[in-house]
């Protein structure tokens, strides 16, 4: 009654009248329905009414050719809204089956809203009452040209949930397989397992022998699936479960191979159903997919082929699989898909590949690409695992002998293939290497070398010779550990190979240059192998050695290296008699070959990683190339551009050789080169260690580069090669010095230091510079940078010459005179205020003055004033500490007048405020030692870095002020040890320095307290940087162990009194060792503890009481 009342509800009646009215346009009706759903209007039974109207209208409009596609799409959108409401509210609606099937038949499934609406219809129909409707819709949908992925997923799910529904399951699955995607494969496989594979008795109808059509139930699911063009591969994927379907999958594999083109697997009269299946296929099955999705198989399964009533033939599945693989290679070649197929067989049935290995290798050599390389690697890996690598070689060569390969086709190994084979040869046992060697010799004799016609078969030669070369270069046959019986077999094989192969082939006319080159390469490998065996086993192969000498002579006479590159390289490396001739004969040819890059430098020295091995001949060639380049650009160094001059010189150490005399004569030429030249390519040469002649040549090139195109690199190169060249002996020293100092480039200290040293070597240089001192002095007074820098360094070098009693008196006098002239000019320069840039130079000069004539200070007011001016200018700079150090070292009363208390205070503050070095510690200690008692305390109370001050006080020598120093040291030592900003490692180093000073600058109690506090601080500070400490543990390190060792050594008489402290400290170190994983650190600690315990023995009586 209520339902009838709802049906007559005015709102529903009004909606029905509007939707059925012919006066209202379709557009307005669609707008009305849109507003109803957007406003969520409460109209009873509206969903049923609207759904019925939309479906009816859609069916009508699909037949109306004038309807716009836009309106159709709007109706599908509204249908989706309606169906969502029905699905959400759980409203039961009746859908006309014929109507919906008609709509599905014409629906465009490329429109997203259409697909969404149909999915909702399928879901609404998925109940017991509407099951048949849903199944009909699903069948209709999969038959369409397009079935989107998400729709197919719903269809498969719903059909799977209705196993008892009336449905042509084979036809349904075949239609669904057309729309298969990776996402839906799992659902499809589950359905196939349930529907197709659950009852295997239906398969007998397909596989049964000579069954008439009328006697077979042709409606088996699998037959329906296949006859309707369903892809067997998906059934194979579903059956790919080794636990459930091993035999079934094997039979399906046989069927797949038959449908993939292997017609001989079934006789034509064998099965009516098979014949029908064959006819129904438009294209053959993809054998690659059949193989991949069938594995693993029952290889031992025997398949019967009944060819006639009286004849019966059987075939193993292993052979079927092998032939299928061959068919894949024949049809597809070597591709990524065929490689994946072979890889799948390798993973499941590797023995199949063992059988097919010769064929696969041949195909890999015929079609070389990355996939063929990968297949070869698979085969090598397989044969190594099976320990049958020699059989791989022998089977392949036997296959070549058969008709498996065209007799006119020559196969060749690529370098990548040989590299992989070489790695395999390196892994196999020695006996297997010998087995391969003997196999190759057999095939060389029987298949390759034709002694009667004096020819070789290129088909076998191109394959065998590279493999035989791998035996000589990679097999582990050269070793002291080779057993004597095996060594005897190797020697025997060497002789037989030489007599049966190399001697006959040496006179053979090879058919191609490639074959000849392979022979020369193999000969090089063989001779290198023989040489190594000779050295290891101390066996002389005289006949082979004589043959090698003949080959070398032939190479030199022909002036062609050919394939003997390794042989020539070996001769050069071993330093044989023919080494120099080979180098000079083939320099131009071999220097272009990358394999000779390490032995023959290129003409332009472009290689940055070149290893010259300091070979003088090759370095000479490189230098000659640079002089040739200079001669072409500037028309200078004509004589040095002569190639014969460099190639015919034998002694590069003789300073009186022809080339040395020419180099001396050409020194002045470096002043006249006008074109730019860069010597940066000389940086790869070992310039510092060159023989004198080559070093002089490199120096000429470096000077030319600095003069024409100065750079950071060129000046460093000049600094590296200038020393010990005596270049100033062969030119006016002052002229060359002016040229180098006038370069518009700030010369670095490394070059000027070397230059200053060279200028002191001979009296000639000193006198020539003295003559031009007026010019040099003017430049110094003008503050010319390079001049001031050099002459301050030069002053220091001259001072040492003047003090050296082993130098001749004449040279010493000249050095002192020149020093005086330089100093006078520096003093004139210092009359004006010294700039910050100039101060370091004058500090160097001041140090030189103090080193040479400190005893004369005070007697010369000008020198005193100059030093005072330099001291005042450098007082605020760290560089001035060097001068203060030298002044304090002199300790003379006259020097004392130059160093007042203010200067010492400035220097003291500089030391405390700077980064500490050994030199600054020394300066600080000297300052404290020079202070009177009344000033010492003032200096010690200056605020500064306590860690720095502690180190200085530790190194201060004892004096009458030692009590004050000791008191201050003990005070700040504890402050430093407690300072958390200083790492535990630095504190340990500080205490180690303290413990190494004898007598100790602090009391024993203070020393032990500081050590104990440091070791206990680890538990508070945790891990210290640079140490292997455990959080919360006491701090221990090799330094703390050494501190304990030094403490006992410095206090042998009283150490036993502190035994509790020492024993506990040792115990903590043992605990640290048990926790630490730093083996190096632990070993150092153990060594120190061992020395400590050894010292206990010396005071055994004292320590036995502990």
Q: What is the pLDDT of residues 912-940, one digit of tens each?
A: 777 777 777 777 777 777 777 777 777 77
Q: Is the pLDDT of residue 602 over 50?
A: no
- Residue with tokens 């006309």, as numbered in its chain: 96
Q: Exposure of 1020 by Cβ count < 10 A (0-12 exposed, 13-18 middle, 19+ buried)?
A: exposed
Read off the pLDDT of residues 515-542 as tens digits, 9 standing for 90 and up: 889 998 999 999 999 988 888 888 888 8
Distance CA 271, CA 209 (A): 5
Phi, psi of 1098 (to 5 degrees): -70, -25
Q: Tokens at residue 658, please?
A: 């022809």
Which band of pLDDT confidence, cut at 50, 70 and 90, is reported for residue 244? low
Choose the weakest-confidence range: 81-90, 926-935, 984-993.
926-935
Angle between helices 1059-1075 and 1038-1050 (to 10 degrees): 160
Average of per-residue pLDDT across 1044-1065: 78
Cα-based angle 450, 451, 456 (whole degrees, multiple of 5): 35
Strands 302-305 and 449-450: unpaired
Q: Residue 687 is encoded by which pair of tokens?
A: 């310039």
3-state secondary structure of 303: strand
Reference 197, options 229, 169, 227, 177; nearest CA is 169
Instruction: Please report the pLDDT score of residue 1007 as a whole number.
Output: 80
**Type and span of the H or E element at 1017:** helix 1004-1021
Question: Residue 1021: pLDDT above 60?
Answer: no
Local confidence band at 217 (pLDDT 50, 70, 90 cut-offs): very low
**Confidence check: pLDDT of 418 > 50:** yes
> At 198, is the secondary structure helix, strand, or coil?
coil
Q: How far is CA 385 from CA 27, 351, 380, 433, 753, in A?
A: 76, 11, 9, 16, 66
- DSSP letters spanning 161-185: T-TTS---HHHHHHHHHTT--GGGH
210-219, 251-260, 870-879, 1040-1049: least confident range = 210-219
Q: Are 1051 and 1101 in contact (CB under 8 A)?
A: no
pLDDT at 279: 61
Quote the DSSP letter at residue 501: I
Q: Are 830 and 872 in contact (CB under 8 A)?
A: no
Residue 827, CA distances (Å) to 224, 738, 792, 822, 830 in order? 115, 21, 12, 9, 5
- Are the beta carbons of 378 and 417 closer than 8 angstroms? no
| Total number of residues shown for the chain | 1106
Structure tokens at 792: 């301050």
Burial class (CB in 10 A: 0-12, 13-18, 19+), 766: buried
Q: How far, in Å, CA of 465 to CA of 521, rounded?
A: 9
Measure the CA–CA gap between 516 and 563, rounded to whole angstroms. 8
776: Cα within 13 Å, side-chain hemisphere: 30
pLDDT value at position 211?
41
Pairing, β 302-305 against β 313-316? antiparallel
| Helices 389-401 and 370-385, packing angle to 10 deg | 120
Q: Which residues of 84-109 are buried (b: 16+ CB within 10 A; e: fewer)?
A: ebbeeeeeebebeeeebebbbeebeb
Structure tokens at 553: 């002579």
- Cβ atoms 714, 679 nearer than 8 A: yes
Across 720-783, the runs of DSSP E, i.e. the strands, are none
| Nearest Cα residue to 250 out of 324, 351, 171, 355 | 324
449 has which bridge partners? 456
pLDDT digits (tens, 9 = 90+) for 632-666: 888 888 888 888 888 776 678 888 888 888 888 98
Query: What is the rounded distance in angstroms from the CA atom of residue 1096 to the CA atom of residue 1103?
Result: 6
pLDDT band for position 435 (cuts 50, 70, 90): very high
**How many other C-beta atoms lie within 10 A of the C-beta of residue 82?**
27
Confidence bin at 60 (pLDDT 50/70/90): confident
Question: To the nearest 10°, the Cα dihedral for 983, 985, 990, 991?
Answer: 120
556 near 581, Cβ under 8 Å? yes
pLDDT at 512 over 80: yes
Burial class (CB in 10 A: 0-12, 13-18, 19+), 384: middle
Query: Please, where are the H alpha helices in 897-999?
Result: 901-913, 918-930, 933-940, 946-954, 962-978, 984-996
Closest by CA position to 470, among listed 389, 552, 395? 389
Cβ-contact 55, 19 below 8 angstroms: no
| 3-state SS track over 406-462 | CCCCCCCCCHHHHHHHHHHHHHCCHHHHHHHHHHHHHHHHHHHEECCCCEECHHHHH
Average pLDDT over residues 467-487: 87
The three-state secondary structure class of 564 is coil
Average pLDDT on 234-248 reads 73
DSSP assigned state of 130: T
- Whole-number Cα distances in Å, 489 to 430, 443, 475, 493, 527: 11, 19, 14, 6, 17
CA nearest to 58, candidates 14, 121, 7: 121
Mean pLDDT along residues 734-743: 89
Between CA 1005 and CA 273 the distance in angstroms is: 108
pLDDT at 3: 45
Mean pLDDT of the chain: 80
For residues 1047 and 1061, the answer to whether their CB atoms sit within 8 Å is no
- Cα separation of 641 and 648, whole Å? 13
Cβ atoms of 957 and 984 within 8 Å: the answer is no
Q: Annotate 984-1006 with b (16+ C-beta within 10 A) or e (fewer).
A: bbbbbbbbbbbbebeebbbeeeb
Of residues 5 and 965, which shows the higher confidence score? 965
pLDDT at 215: 41
Q: Using an 8 Å Cβ cutoff, are 395 and 450 in contact?
A: no
> Is the pLDDT reported for residue 904 higher than 60?
yes
At residue 264's C-alpha, the angle toward residues 337 and 355, to 5°, is 55
Q: Is the pLDDT of residue 578 over 70?
A: yes
Residue 429 has phi, psi (to 5 degrees) of -65, 160
Q: What percentage of the chain's residues is helix, strand, coil (to nearest 5)?
A: 70, 0, 30
Give strand pairing partners of 455: 450
Q: What is the largest CA-CA distance in the chain?
A: 144
Q: Is 302 helix (H, G, I), strand (E, B) or coil?
A: strand
Instruction: Pick the closest to residue 305 from 275, 276, 263 (CA basis).
Output: 263
Under the banding of pLDDT at 50, 70 and 90, the label for residue 308 is low
Q: Which residues of 162-193 are buried (b: 16+ CB within 10 A; e: fewer)?
A: beeeebebbbbbbbbbbbbeeebeebbbebbb
Buried b (16+ CB within 10 A) or exposed e, 434-455: bbbbebbbebbeebbbeeeeee
d(Cα 95, Cα 98) in Å, to the nearest integer? 9
Q: Does the pTM of the predicted model rise above 0.75?
A: no
């Amino acid at each position: 009654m209520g339902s009838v009342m709802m049906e007559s509800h005015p709102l529903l009646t009004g909606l029905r009248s509007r939707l059925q009215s012919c006066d209202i346009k379709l557009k307005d009706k669609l707008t009305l329905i849109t507003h109803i759903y957007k406003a969520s209007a409460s109209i009873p039974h509206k969903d049923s009414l609207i759904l019925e109207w939309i479906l009816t209208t859609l069916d009508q409009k699909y037949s109306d050719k004038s309807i716009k596609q836009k309106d159709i799409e709007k109706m599908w959108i509204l249908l989706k809204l309606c169906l969502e409401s029905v699905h959400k509210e759980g409203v039961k609606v009746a859908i006309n089956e014929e109507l919906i099937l008609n709509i599905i038949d014409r629906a465009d499934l490329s429109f997203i809203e259409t697909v969404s609406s149909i999915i909702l219809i399928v879901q609404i129909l998925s109940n017991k009452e509407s099951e048949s409707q849903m199944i009909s819709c699903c069948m209709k949908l999969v038959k369409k040209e397009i079935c989107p992925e998400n729709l197919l997923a719903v269809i498969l799910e719903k059909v799977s949930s209705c196993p008892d529904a009336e449905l042509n399951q084979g036809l349904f699955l075949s239609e669904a397989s057309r729309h298969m995607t990776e996402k839906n494969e799992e659902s499809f496989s589950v359905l196939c397992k349930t529907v197709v594979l659950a009852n295997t008795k239906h398969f007998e109808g397909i596989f049964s022998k000579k069954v008439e059509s009328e006697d077979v139930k042709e409606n088996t699911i699998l037959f329906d699936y296949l006859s309707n063009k369903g892809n067997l591969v998906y059934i194979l994927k579903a059956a790919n479960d080794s636990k459930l379907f091993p035999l079934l999958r094997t039979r399906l594999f046989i069927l797949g191979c038959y449908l993939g083109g292997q017609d001989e697997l079934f006789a034509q009269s064998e099965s009516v159903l098979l014949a029908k299946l064959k006819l129904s296929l438009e294209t053959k099955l993809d054998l690659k997919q059949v193989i991949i999705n069938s594995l693993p198989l029952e290889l031992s399964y025997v398949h019967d082929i009944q060819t006639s009533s009286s004849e019966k033939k059987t075939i193993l599945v292993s052979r079927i699989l092998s032939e299928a693989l061959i068919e894949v290679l024949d049809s597809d070649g070597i591709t990524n898909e065929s490689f994946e197929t072979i890889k799948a067989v390798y993973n499941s049935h590797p023995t199949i590949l063992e059988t097919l290995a010769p064929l696969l290798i041949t195909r890999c050599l015929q079609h070389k690409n990355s996939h063929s390389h990968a297949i070869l690697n698979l085969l090598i890996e397989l044969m190594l695992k099976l320990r049958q690598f020699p059989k791989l070689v022998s089977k392949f060569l036997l296959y070549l002998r058969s008709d498996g390969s065209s007799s006119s086709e020559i196969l060749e190994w690529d370098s990548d293939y040989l590299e992989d084979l070489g790695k395999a040869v390196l892994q196999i046992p020695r006996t297997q290497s010998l087995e391969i060697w003997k196999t190759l010799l057999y095939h060389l004799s029987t298949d390759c070398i034709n002694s009667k016609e004096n020819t070789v078969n290129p088909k076998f030669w191109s394959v065998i010779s590279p493999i035989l070369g791998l035996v000589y270069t990679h097999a582990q046959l050269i070793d002291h550990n080779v057993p004597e019986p095996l060594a005897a077999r190797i020697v025997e094989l060497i002789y037989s190979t030489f007599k049966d192969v190399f001697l006959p082939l040496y006179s053979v006319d090879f058919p191609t240059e490639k074959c000849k080159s392979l022979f020369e390469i193999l000969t090089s490998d063989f001779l290198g192998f023989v040489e190594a065996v000779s050295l290891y086993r101390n066996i002389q192969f005289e006949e082979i050695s004589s043959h090698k000498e003949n080959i070398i002579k032939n190479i030199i006479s022909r002036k062609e290296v050919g394939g003997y590159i390794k042989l020539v390289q070996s001769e050069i490396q071993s330093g044989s008699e023919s080494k120099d001739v080979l180098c000079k004969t083939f320099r131009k040819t071999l220097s272009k070959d990358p394999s000779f890059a390490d032995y023959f430098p290129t003409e332009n020295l472009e290689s940055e990683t070149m290893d010259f091995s300091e070979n003088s001949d090759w370095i000479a060639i490189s230098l000659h190339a640079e002089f040739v380049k200079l001669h072409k650009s500037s028309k200078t160094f004509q004589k040095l551009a002569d190639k014969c001059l460099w190639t015919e010189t034998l002694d590069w150490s003789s300073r009186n050789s022809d080339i040395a005399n020419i180099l001396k004569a050409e020194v002045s030429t470096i002043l006249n080169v006008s074109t730019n030249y860069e010597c940066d390519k000389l940086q790869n040469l070992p310039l510092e260690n060159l023989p004198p002649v080559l070093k002089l040549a490199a120096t000429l090139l470096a000077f030319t580069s600095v003069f024409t195109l100065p750079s950071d690199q060129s000046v460093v190169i000049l600094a590296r090669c200038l020393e010990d060249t005596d270049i100033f002996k062969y030119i006016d020293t002052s002229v060359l010095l002016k040229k180098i100092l006038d370069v518009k480039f700030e010369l670095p200290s490394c070059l000027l230091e070397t230059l200053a040293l060279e200028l002191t070597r001979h009296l000639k240089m000193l006198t020539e510079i003295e003559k031009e001192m007026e010019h040099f002095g003017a430049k110094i007074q003008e503050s010319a940078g390079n001049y001031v820098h050099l002459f301050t360094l030069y002053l220091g070098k001259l001072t040492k010459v003047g003090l050296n009693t082993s130098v001749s008196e004449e040279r010493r006098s000249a050095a002192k005179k020149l020093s005086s002239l330089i100093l006078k000019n520096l003093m004139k320069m210092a009359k004006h205020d010294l700039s910050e840039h100039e101060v370091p130079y004058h500090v160097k000069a001041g140090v030189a003055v103090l080193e040479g004539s400190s005893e004369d200070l005070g007697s010369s007011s000008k020198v005193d004033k100059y030093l005072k001016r330099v001291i005042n200018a450098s007082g605020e700079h760290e560089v001035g500490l060097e001068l203060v150090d030298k002044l304090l070292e002199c300790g003379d009363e006259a020097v004392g007048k130059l160093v007042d208390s203010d200067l010492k205070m400035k220097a003291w503050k500089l030391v405390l405020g700077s980064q500490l070095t050994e030199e600054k510690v020394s300066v600080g200690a000297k300052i404290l030692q020079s202070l009177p008692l009344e000033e010492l305390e003032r200096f010690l109370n200056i605020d500064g870095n306590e860690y720095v001050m502690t180190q200085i006080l530790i190194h201060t020598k004892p004096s009458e002020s030692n009590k004050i120093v000791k008191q201050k040291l003990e005070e700040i030592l504890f402050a430093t040890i407690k300072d958390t900003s200083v790492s535990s490692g630095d504190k340990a180093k500080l205490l180690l320095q303290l413990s190494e000073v004898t007598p100790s600058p602090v009391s024993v109690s203070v020393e032990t307290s500081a050590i104990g506090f440091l070791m206990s601080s680890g538990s508070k500070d945790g891990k210290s940087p640079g140490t292997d400490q455990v959080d919360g543990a006491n701090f221990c390190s090799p330094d703390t162990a050494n501190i304990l060792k030094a403490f006992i050594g410095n206090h042998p008489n009283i150490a036993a009194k502190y035994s509790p402290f020492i024993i506990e400290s040792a115990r903590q170190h043992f605990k640290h060792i048990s926790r630490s994983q730093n083996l190096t650190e632990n070993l150092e600690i153990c060594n120190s503890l061992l020395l400590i315990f050894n010292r206990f023995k010396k005071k055994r009586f004292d320590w036995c009481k502990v």
